[in-house]
Chain A
Amino acid sequence: MTVIARFEIDFVQFLDHLGRVIQPLPAFARDPQALIPLYRSMVLTRTFDAKATALQRTGQLGTFASSLGQEAVSVGTAAAMRPEDVLVPAYREYGGQMMRGVRIEELLLYWIGDERGSDFSGPRHDFPICVPVGSQAGHAAGAAYAFKYRGEPRVAVCILGDGGTSKGDFYEAINVAGAWQLPVLFVINNNQWAISVPRAIQTAAKTLAQKAIAAGIEGVQTDGNDVVAVRFAVERALDKARGGGGPTVIEALTYRLGDHTTADDASRYRNAEEVKEKWTYEPLARLRNYLFGSGAWTRTDEDALLAECVGCVQKAVDNFLAIPPPRPEQMFDHLYAQLPKALLPQRAAAIEEGADRG
């Protein structure tokens, strides 16, 4: 018998769970001050998350999917992207979306059930949140093809969850990305749980990164709670893609510390001991410990940042709550570029019905 293929999956980590440096930091992270914006984005994300959950609990928001514990994946990814790149996200990527310019008001609008929330004032080419898991992977491949076709040095960055990697869409997309050497990056936000289904029974593959191997492309695993590792791996992959080197799959190992959504109760299927243990790996404390240790961050800085983030989120919430609800005819406004005449009577009926309801 002859072995005709072997493969290895690299694991990338710079800060361990206590925030200790375990290998020389990459250039962008050598100055601890340079990591403060990343930390700020993660804290803002968590502040937003807590506020959104509270709004849902008080009936001021619809069902919300928390990103608690997964901030480093989103923030690390977006930090490495250029504005002209395109993000093709799943839900829970608020950190990255905010860094790219999506406003908190827009995120809240989406989750209260208002389409205007997907009309980002910021990254006009970014895709809206994708709810049917993994189905956005093909969009990223298509967007990447458009960039390649026009010779633009842009990269499409798809973020999907561990559950999404079980879908055909994911395989089909990484397969074509490899075959056509598309400038695309797939980041797997592996938070270990697909609602109630744990990673262990999602797939027998030892890593999700190795799924890339079957597509003939590079697969890398990172510590998804180490924002330095995520940013490093993503930057490498984006540089490669921009230089014509083709696609990459990055699996970022993290953990969903909260429920799947506010409509879910994870205690039904997940034991509290596991969650408690995972709190010791979470990304904010890790970077904070490092920053404290390096002398770049103080308790005063921390208090000021928390206050700033709370104020920022509260201001956005106030703005959000002041946005008037959509009018009924807005159901029709963007269905087609121009509303077909045949639908005008339905539009008129919706307006009339809306007027009846006051």
Chain B
Amino acid sequence: MAEVNLVQAINMALAYEMEHDPAVLVLGEDVGVNGGVFRATVGLQNRFGKERVLDTPLAEALIAGMSIGMAAQGLKPVAEIQFSGFIYPTLDQIINHAARLRHRTRGRLACPMVLRSTYGAGIHAPEHHSESPEALFAHIPGVRVVIPSSPLRAYGLLLAAIRDPDPVIFLEPTRLYRLFKQEVPNDGEAVPLDACFVVRQGRDVTLVSWGASLYETQAAADVLAQGGISAEVIDVATLKVLDMNAIVESVGKTGRCVIVHEAPRCAGFGAEIAANLAEHGLLSLLAPVQRVTGYDVVTPLPRLESQFIPSVKRIVDSVRRTMEFV
């Protein structure tokens, strides 16, 4: 079994599902001949033809709008938005149409589409290429927001997203695309949506994260282990709909929680998790829930992005403060 990186895992999942379901098609800017700017769709047009792998005009609202029309009439479009900074024109379509088509027609029409985009900082990209808009989407009733953190997870989650009968916003951490490889069996096995994954067992503190930040979070858990602190690490994976039970259960065991995300702190998704812990896990908590996040600033251009992304040190420091709380 070959080891693949995250972007190759995306490609594998797309190819697998296109092979097995003629209703699945891929559309977006540069996804055809070029195979996507990150090569996530490379080879698909040659393999499945120009009718199924569509290079669209440079019009993000249209990409989302067309996907809705396709999905409502029986196709399963997987649309790519090149960078999350360009995703905002799709918000009208996602909020006003995709997310509510099933609801407002009482199930007569549905919208089984996937909107894929790269997201997050850390690849020294130009302005508008590094944002983390997951909380914007997580606020929308009727969609799912899914964020893979590894090649294995990307493969299984993307298959689940494409097979899901409702719209899924699938945000791929650009920083992880080629950061490491894993063995990923190309067996068409999806992993469940709406479920958190405990990726490391621990007893002293629960670290909750998703996407690229999970990488630093796991590295922080290694550092903490050397200092005798046992951290449980949870990969949220599906932010919407959030599996809060898994987090409450873990914090019930550890008594402490640090949430790590790259997006700005204010009204970030960490706030939702912290509020849920306050409501449902207060009596388990031995210390206040901490957040280690991006700052409430514009995502900086590359020269400062490493200062913006939560570092291993910031996570470790936060956990130590949590451990010392009396």
Partner of A176, one of B52, B66, B108: B66
- Contacting residues of chain B (123-168) with chain A, CB-CB under 8 angstroms: 141-142, 164-166
**Contacting pair B73 A143 (CB below 8 A):** yes
Q: Does B10 reach chain A (CB closer than 8 Å)?
A: no
A residues near B71, Cβ cutoff 8 Å: 142
Partner of A146, one of B73, B194, B242: B73
Task: Identify the closest chain A residue to B52 (Cβ).
Answer: A149
- Contacting residues of chain A (92-127) with chain B, CB-CB under 8 angstroms: 115-116, 118-120, 124-125, 127
> In whole angstroms, what is the CA distance A173 to B108 when docked?
24
> In whole angstroms, what is the CA distance A335 to B51 when docked?
31
Partner of B72, one of A132, A143, A341: A143
- Contacting residues of chain A (200-231) with chain B, CB-CB under 8 angstroms: none
Query: Per-residue 0/1 for B48-66: is the Cβ within 8 Å of any A Cβ (1 yes, 0 no)?
Result: 0001100011010110111
B residues near A343, Cβ cutoff 8 Å: 241
Q: Does A166 reach chain B (CB closer than 8 Å)?
A: no
Q: Does A307 reach chain B (CB closer than 8 Å)?
A: no
**Contacting pair B67 A142 (CB below 8 A):** yes
> In whole angstroms, what is the CA distance A234 to B266 when docked?
52
The interface residues of chain A, by DSSP majority, are classed as helix
> In whole angstroms, what is the CA distance A276 to B106 when docked?
42
From A133-141, A261-269, A283-291, give the one contacting chain B: A133-141
A residues near B77, Cβ cutoff 8 Å: 142
Distance from A256 Cβ to chain B, minimum over Cβ atoms (Å): 23
> In whole angstroms, what is the CA distance A340 to B59 when docked?
32
B residues near A340, Cβ cutoff 8 Å: 194, 241
- Contacting residues of chain A (306-358) with chain B, CB-CB under 8 angstroms: 333-337, 340-343
Partner of B243, one of A125, A176, A342: A342
Q: Does A192 reach chain B (CB closer than 8 Å)?
A: no
**Contacting pair B241 A142 (CB below 8 A):** no
- Contacting residues of chain B (59-115) with chain A, CB-CB under 8 angstroms: 59, 61-62, 64-75, 77, 89, 92-93, 96-97, 101-110
A residues near B244, Cβ cutoff 8 Å: 342
Q: Does A26 reach chain B (CB closer than 8 Å)?
A: no
Q: Does B25 reach chain A (CB closer than 8 Å)?
A: yes
Q: Does A175 reach chain B (CB closer than 8 Å)?
A: yes
**Contacting pair B62 A146 (CB below 8 A):** no
B residues near A138, Cβ cutoff 8 Å: 61-62, 64-66, 68-69, 93
Q: Does A160 reach chain B (CB closer than 8 Å)?
A: no
**Contacting pair B73 A168 (CB below 8 A):** no
> In whole angstroms, what is the CA distance A261 to B51 when docked?
42
Which of B71, B93, B106 has the most chain A CB atoms inside 10 A of its CB? B106
**Contacting pair A115 B104 (CB below 8 A):** yes
Partner of B57, one of A118, A156, A179: A179
Distance from B128 Cβ to chain A, minimum over Cβ atoms (Å): 18
Distance from A68 Cβ to chain B, minimum over Cβ atoms (Å): 26
Distance from A124 Cβ to chain B, minimum over Cβ atoms (Å): 6
A residues near B110, Cβ cutoff 8 Å: 337
B residues near A135, Cβ cutoff 8 Å: 65, 92-93, 96-97
Q: Does A86 reach chain B (CB closer than 8 Å)?
A: yes
Which of A131, A143, A144 has the most chain B CB atoms inside 10 A of its CB? A143
**Contacting pair B104 A142 (CB below 8 A):** no
Task: Identify the closest chain A residue to B70 (Cβ).
Answer: A142
Task: Identify the closest chain B residue to A140 (Cβ).
Answer: B69
Q: Does A169 reach chain B (CB closer than 8 Å)?
A: yes
**Contacting pair A172 B57 (CB below 8 A):** yes
Query: Per-residue 0/1 for B278-293: is the Cβ within 8 Å of any A Cβ (1 yes, 0 no)?
Result: 0000000000000000
Given contacts A119-B105, A172-B57, A342-B243, whether A141 and B65 have CB atoms under 8 Å apart is yes
> In whole angstroms, what is the CA distance A156 to B56 when docked?
19
Partner of A334, one of B72, B74, B106, B242: B106
Q: Does A147 reach chain B (CB closer than 8 Å)?
A: yes
> In whole angstroms, what is the CA distance A6 to B71 when docked?
38
**Contacting pair B93 A145 (CB below 8 A):** no
Q: Does A83 reach chain B (CB closer than 8 Å)?
A: no
Distance from A164 Cβ to chain B, minimum over Cβ atoms (Å): 13
B residues near A144, Cβ cutoff 8 Å: 69
- Contacting residues of chain B (19-63) with chain A, CB-CB under 8 angstroms: 25, 51-52, 56-57, 59, 61-62
**Contacting pair A128 B69 (CB below 8 A):** no
> In whole angstroms, what is the CA distance A145 to B72 when docked?
11
Additional pairs, 10, CB under 8 Å, beyond known A118-B104, A142-B67: A119-B108, A135-B93, A139-B68, A141-B66, A143-B70, A144-B69, A172-B61, A172-B62, A334-B103, A336-B165
